[in-house]
Amino acid sequence: MKKVRIGVLVSGRGSNLQAVIDNIELGLLAAEIAVVISDQADAYSLERAKNHNIPAVHISAKGYKGKRDAYDALLVQELQKRGVELVCLAGFMRIITPVLIAAFPHRILNIHPSLLPAFPGLHVQKKALEHGVKFSGCTVHFVDEGMDTGPIIIQAVVPILDNDTEESLSTRILQQEHKIYSRAIQLFAEGRLKVESNRVSVIGGLTESNAFLINP
């Protein structure tokens, strides 16, 4: 099967990036990472990429305050130069602009640690605990022009326990993120994601093993 060439945009530690790398190396994911791009020079994600001989590029946002379009044009240039077909945001802490979205229509994915549309933005586990919701989780979605919006591809549900802290909840959600991001990328690679207005359906349907409702 043809491998989809992905570009991963990161800002920090890169545990989701690592999960994708590991699943590719295990032969579970028909993808190759063409480039990892960070807006932060000291992002540990860049080390992770280098450790696996993946091109790691820092594109500084210095001098681009109020010029998001110009910054995103740099991203587009780098991604296109590397032949990227699918862009994966993995803890990329910048708001992206129509410049990037127009260059990769329905070809940008994001992972977010809540059951969207609940709790977009930052500090989401804290918000979930404050609201007293009984379930949270994570979402992989196509990116549109909003913040943490866009057609939802796959979600995993994580029950919230009475003694949960922000940290314990984040840890359990992250374990599920590491599974569903690769699953969504694989469905994309297989050409099985059909987007109609705001709904994504999976051609061939979801089987029990890729439905990812409540995960053990």
Would you call 112 a catalytic residue per the annotation?
A: yes
Closest contact distance (angstroms) between CB of 31 and ligand GAR is: 16
Cβ–Cβ < 8 Å for 96, 104: no
Token couple for 113: 């640690």
Q: Which residues pair with 108 in a beta bridge?
A: 87
Q: How far apart are CA 87 and CA 89, in angstroms?
A: 7
Residue nearest to ligand GAR (CB): 91
Q: How far apart are CA 185 and CA 190, in angstroms?
A: 9
Q: Least distance to ligand GAR from the beta carbon of 204, Å?
A: 27
CA distances from 212 to 158, 167, 177 (A): 10, 22, 11
CB of 71 or CB of 92, closer to ligand GAR: 92
Which of 43, 193 has the CB closer to ligand GAR? Answer: 43
The token duo for 98 is 């129509």
Q: Which of 52, 106, 112, 123 is catalytic?
A: 112
Closer to ligand GAR by Cβ: residue 12 or 55: 12
Q: Smallest distance, Å, CB 2 to ligand GAR?
A: 26
Interface residues with ligand GAR (CB under 6 A) are 12-16, 90-91, 111-113, 148, 174, 177
Catalytically active residues are: 112
